[in-house]
Amino acid sequence: MMSFIHVYVHFVWSTKNRAPLLTKDIRYRVFQHIKENAKTKNIHVDFINGYTDHVHCLVSLNDDLGIGGIAQLLKGESSHWINRNKLTKLKFGWQNEYFAIGVGDSGIQAVRDYIAHQETHHQKHTWAEEYDEFISRYGFDIVRKDLG
């Protein structure tokens, strides 16, 4: 029997300590690798892009993996691949935390467009500003207060 699932999640995660290690020389190789590796794990990466210190990834969920499993597979394998191929001078790693935001049908194209224009976006806004905006827009600041 087959399951029919139509759920999209916008993942965002940054490099460890927000280090600007995803230079233009390697950024698109890394994103292409994440997309190809995801396919081998039955994860459909609909769209991926980012900037020097973070990644945006629109993923269509399936019935095999939960959100945490997908984040772990995408981040863990890609940092290992970056280090194995010596793409950065310093040891590469991702921050432990990440954002995962559900995207409704009417918002999918807007998220794709937003992800596609990261380089232009980050000429005006830093990742720190974008991070704070995500915290506020999606109510994560309230969650943080509840946990603290």
In a domain, 72, yes or no: yes
pTM: 0.88
In a domain, 104, yes or no: yes
pLDDT recorded at residue 142:
63
Write out pLDDT tens, residues 98-108: 999 999 999 99
- Residue 45 has phi, psi (to 5 degrees) of -90, 110
SS3 6: coil
The range of the structural domain enclosing residue 49 comes to: 8-142
Beta bridge partners of 47: 58
Write out pLDDT tens, residues 56-86: 999 998 888 889 999 999 999 999 999 999 9
Cα–Cα distance measured from residue 148 to residue 127, given in angstroms and rounded to the nearest whole number: 24
The tally of domains found in the chain comes to 1
CATH number at residue 84: 3.30.70.1290
Cα–Cα distance measured from residue 9 to residue 2, given in angstroms and rounded to the nearest whole number: 21
Crossing angle of helices 127-137/140-147, nearest 10°?
A: 80
How remote is the C-alpha of 116 from its chain's centroid? 13
